[in-house]
Structure 1
Amino acid sequence: MKRAILVFSLLPMAFVSCNSSNTDKQVTSIQTKNNQNMQVTEAQKAGILQAIDLYIEAGNKGNSKTAREAFDSKATMSWVENGKLKNVPIQALYDYFDQGVVASSYELTSIEVAENVATVRIESQFGTAKFSDMFAMVKDGNQWKIVSKVYHLK
């Protein structure tokens, strides 16, 4: 229940379900603020949002332990700094969270799924710094994991 409250308070989206006899295969049409329609099953959406909720919780609390649950152990983070591409292990994000920096806002703007892979975009703010965060995710067994975070500092 806590996850649902957190997610729906962050999501400016309308959800419309289609009829289906199998709830794992039930399809949801998600209308994003970009007016793009995407088809995602309820099971896919729940699994993806479980990992994203962990990331958001970690950012809200400045807690790398929670973030570790959302990411694959070999995940990476990438961005451009002074015109040059930077790629680092996800440990750099954990170190950032452990400095006590906490997010002031998150907004989920898109989810795209192709069977067992997905991309998620979030607009976030940490203090005065605003970011566009994009996550590549893979379903590992029954759990979705973030394998890469790519961001742009606005």
Structure 2
Amino acid sequence: MKISRILLSLSCFILSLTFSVKAQTEDEAIKVCINNYLDGVLNGDAARLNLAFHPTALLRSVNTNTGTLQDIPVAKFISTMPAGGIQSNGGSTKLISYSYIGISALATVELRFGEFKYVDLLSMLKFGNDWKIVSRVFSRTDLNGQLKGSGASVASTPTTSAPKAVKKSSANVKPKADDGW
């Protein structure tokens, strides 16, 4: 009887370790992708950047001179990375936040330069066991620029009224099949 209790306790302990390692492994895999990007930009390391990005990834922003959407293929971005990266000009990088569910993830990072910074929103997808950046949407801002919105670190404003009831409509029902909705 005593041996079966010990075996049961040991089994539960091992099972709990398995679940916690699984969750940690997913977080670590995402951080590996993000760190490949940040270290690649910081040091001008094309190999690290190639590990971070999916080969068909796009870098997108608005051209401030023309007001048009600007798409940069990842291969062009990597090939124009300055030798020594941004650290050679006093630049630095920072992971601000990341989140994920299933096979998709989003990270917000900051690339600081002397008098300005870029804030990047990195969309990632999981391919096998590896996470890859499939899109970088970026914005240049001054050094004092702050993130806004629900993902930013801001104090919430208390509400005084109860939330309104939402009437269900069959027009907004999500299909049962996983069709990308």
**TM-score normalised by L of structure 2:** 0.61
Higher relative contact order (Cα pairs below 8 Å, separated by 6+ residues): 1
Percent identity, aligned pairs only, is 26
Q: 2:45 touches 2:85 (CA, 8 Å); kept in 1?
A: no
Residue from 83, 88, 108 that aligns with 2:95 = 108
**2:88 corresponds to 1:88:** no
5+ residue gaps, structure 2, are 1-12, 142-181
Displaced runs of 4 or more, over 6 A? none
Query: Which structure has the larger Rg?
Result: 2
5+ residue gaps, structure 1, are: 1-18, 28-39
Residue in structure 2 matched with residue 78 of structure 1 by the alignment: 60
Alpha-carbon RMSD: 2.4
Instruction: Report the Cα offset of residue 65 of structure 1.
Output: 2.1
Q: Would the alpha carbon gap of residues 117 and 98 (structure 1) be closer, same or farther in structure 2, given more than 3 Å must change?
A: same
1:102–1:127 Cα contact (<8 Å) kept: no
Check conservation: 1:54, 1:67, Cα contact below 8 A. yes
Would you say 1:48 and 2:30 are equivalent positions? yes
One-letter identity of the residue aligned with 1:110: S
Paired letter, 1:73 = P
Paired residues in the alignment total 124
In the alignment, is residue 147 of structure 1 matched against residue 134 of structure 2? yes
Query: Offset at 1:24?
Result: 5.8
Kindly provide the amino acid, as one letter, of the partner of residue 143 in structure 1: D
Question: How does the TM-score come out when normalised to structure 1?
Answer: 0.70
Match of 1:65, SS? Answer: helix
